[in-house]
């Protein structure tokens, strides 16, 4: 049987840090409101000339180095993002050239904040089937480019970053991606979206004047559905693997709101000190959120051989998913 091993991880957070106090100078908000409602203290913001592929490039280089794999060995490149450098071509195609990869299959996945978990599972299937030997999977997002910096309902929540992992075929189950359970429900696409700029409402002077090219969100509805859908994903993957939550040592949840993470921990009966959280430092970095938190926790030596780690995400779509990793 072929296992799919995480051979190395990397992450990148832009240098510029914007604190809650900095934001309170631009919109009617306060450090106290943002901390208590979201758990966010600061976020990293990319430079004007840093695009999604540039963030991804830094994370990917680090992952390749940590995996000790040459770029030429990579057979498959997937970038999860909602902030592609351009509407098309894909960020993955652009990154193929920037990284000097062979002319391999490279594509983007748009599953919003669940993107990395989706991408991980797609790559897992390609490797398990023996189609490819090594895959590079990246979550990269520059939310600062699509947020209305005058809208306090959304601008305080997001940040920029990228996280990457190199996957490879393996004969043993150590450091492996075991399973994934994914879902989507598009009945309320407007709960979290960019209304214009697509084929439904192409860009016009009016769409620009009406701020329809920025993230629009129904925070209360998303909050309510997030915990329910993440529970569904966790239960789905545990049931399929004939495990219970007591068999899991760590959860790396999507970093959208500390209260959502706490609610998930409560519902699962899972200790908060085993939930990996970096939201205070990063805000919600969308598809980058889980791989950045995972790479940081691994670099800090928090995981031990034999432990099981669950990644669990939700995002625009709505989409959701969980991945099980055997460390
Ligand atoms: C957005 C979110 C933090 C709001 O928290 P909340 O406790 O639900 O707050 P409410 O929506 O009840 O708003 C409370 C008040 O705070 C105000 N408010 C919103 N943003 C604010 C800010 N940055 N600073 C100060 N006040 C703010 C609102 O205008 C509202 O005022 P009102 O009562 O006078 O209308 C929360 O709903 C959330 O995290 N939702 C999920 C969003 C998410 O995760 N999105 C990404 C998914 S991947």
Both 8 and 136 in one domain: the answer is yes
CATH of the domain at 302: 3.40.47.10
Residue whose pair of structure tokens reads 């592929």 in the numeric block: 53
What is the pLDDT, as a whole number, of residue 84?
Answer: 98
Nearest atom, ligand 1, residue 222 CA: 41
Q: How high is the pLDDT of residue 2?
A: 83
Structural domain ending residue among the three candidates 148, 172, 196: 172
Do 215 and 322 reside in the same domain of the chain? yes
Mutate to test the pocket of ligand 1, among 20, 29, 220 (most ligand atoms within 8 A of CB): 220
Same domain as 288, residue 205: yes
Secondary structure (3-state) at 140: strand
The boundaries of the domain holding residue 118 are 3-172
Query: Does residue 191 have its Cβ closer than 6 Å to ligand 1?
Result: no
CB of 256 closer than 6 angstroms to any ligand 1 atom: yes
**Looking at the structure, do residues 221 and 281 belong to the same domain, yes or no?**
yes
Residue 111 sits in the same domain as residue 200: no
Please tell me if the CB atom of residue 33 comes closer than 6 angstroms to any atom of ligand 1.
Answer: yes
Against a cut of 0.75, is the pTM above it?
yes
- Both tokens of residue 163? 């996280």
The predicted-structure confidence for 227-253, as pLDDT tens digits, reads as follows: 999 999 999 999 999 999 999 999 999
Instruction: Choose one of 172, 201, 222: the last residue of a domain.
Output: 172
What confidence score (pLDDT) does residue 220 get? 94
Burial 210-246 (b: 16+ CB within 10 A, else e): eebbbbbbebeebeebbbebbbbbbebbbeeeebeee
39 and 160: one domain? yes
* Claim to verify: residue 137 and residue 36 sit in the same structural domain: yes
Identify the pLDDT of residue 131. 87
Please count the structural domains in the chain: 2
Same domain, 202 and 245: yes
pLDDT digit string, tens, across residues 31-86: 999 999 999 999 999 999 999 999 999 999 999 999 999 999 999 999 999 999 99
Q: Check 155, 193, 254, 277 and give the catalytic one.
A: 254
Active-site residue among 52, 113, 165, 193?
113
My answer on whether 66 and 207 are in the same domain is: no
pLDDT > 70 fraction of the chain, expressed in percent and rounded: 100
**What is the pLDDT of the chain when averaged over all its residues?**
97
Same structural domain for residues 125 and 165? Answer: yes
Residues 290 and 181 in one domain: yes
Task: Give dist(CA 301, CA 299) in Å, integer.
Answer: 5
Q: Using 70 as the pLDDT threshold, list the residues of the chain that sit under it.
A: 1
**Does the annotation mark 254 as catalytic?**
yes
Same domain, 214 and 264: yes
Structural element, H or E, at residue 228: helix 219-240
284 is catalytic: yes
Name the residue at shortest CA distance from atom 46 of ligand 1: 256
234: nearest Cα among 221, 247, 220: 247
Task: Report whether residue 98 contacts ligand 1, using a CB cutoff of 6 Å.
Answer: no
Q: Domain end: 140, 172, 204, which one? A: 172
């Amino acid at each position: 049987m072929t296992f799919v091993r995480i051979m190395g991880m990397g992450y990148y957070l832009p240098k510029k840090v914007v604190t809650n106090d900095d934001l309170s100078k631009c919109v009617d908000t306060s450090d106290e409101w943002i901390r208590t409602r979201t758990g966010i203290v600061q976020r990293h913001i990319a430079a004007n000339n840093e695009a999604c592929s540039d963030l991804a490039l830094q994370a990917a280089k680090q992952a390749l180095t940590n995996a000790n794999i040459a770029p030429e060995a990579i057979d498959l490149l997937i970038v999860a993002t909602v902030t592609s450098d351009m509407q098309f071509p894909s960020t993955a195609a652009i990154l193929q050239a920037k990284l000097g990869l062979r002319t391999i299959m490279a594509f983007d996945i748009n599953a919003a904040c669940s993107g990395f978990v989706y991408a991980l599972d797609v790559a897992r299937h390609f490797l398990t089937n023996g189609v490819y030997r090594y895959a590079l999977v990246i979550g990269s997002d520059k939310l600062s480019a699509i947020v209305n910096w005058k809208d306090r309902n959304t601008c305080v929540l997001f940040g920029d970053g990228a996280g990457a992992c190199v996957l490879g075929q393996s004969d043993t189950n150590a450091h492996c991606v075991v399973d994934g359970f994914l879902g989507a429900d598009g009945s309320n696409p407007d709960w979290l979206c960019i209304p214009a700029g697509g084929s439904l409402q192409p860009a016009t002077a009016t769409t620009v004047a009406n701020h329809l090219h920025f993230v629009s969100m129904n925070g209360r509805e998303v909050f309510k559905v997030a915990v329910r859908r993440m529970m569904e994903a966790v239960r789905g993957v545990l049931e399929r693997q004939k495990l219970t939550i007591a068999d899991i040592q760590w959860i790396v949840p999507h970093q959208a709101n500390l209260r959502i993470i706490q609610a998930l921990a409560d519902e699962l009966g899972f200790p908060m000190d085993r939930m990996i959280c970096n939201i205070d430092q990063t805000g919600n970095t969308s598809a980058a959120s889980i791989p950045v938190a995972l790479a940081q926790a691994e670099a800090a030596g928090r995981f031990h051989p034999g432990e099981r780690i669950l990644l669990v995400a939700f995002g625009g779509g709505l989409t959701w998913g969980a991945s099980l990793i055997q460390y």
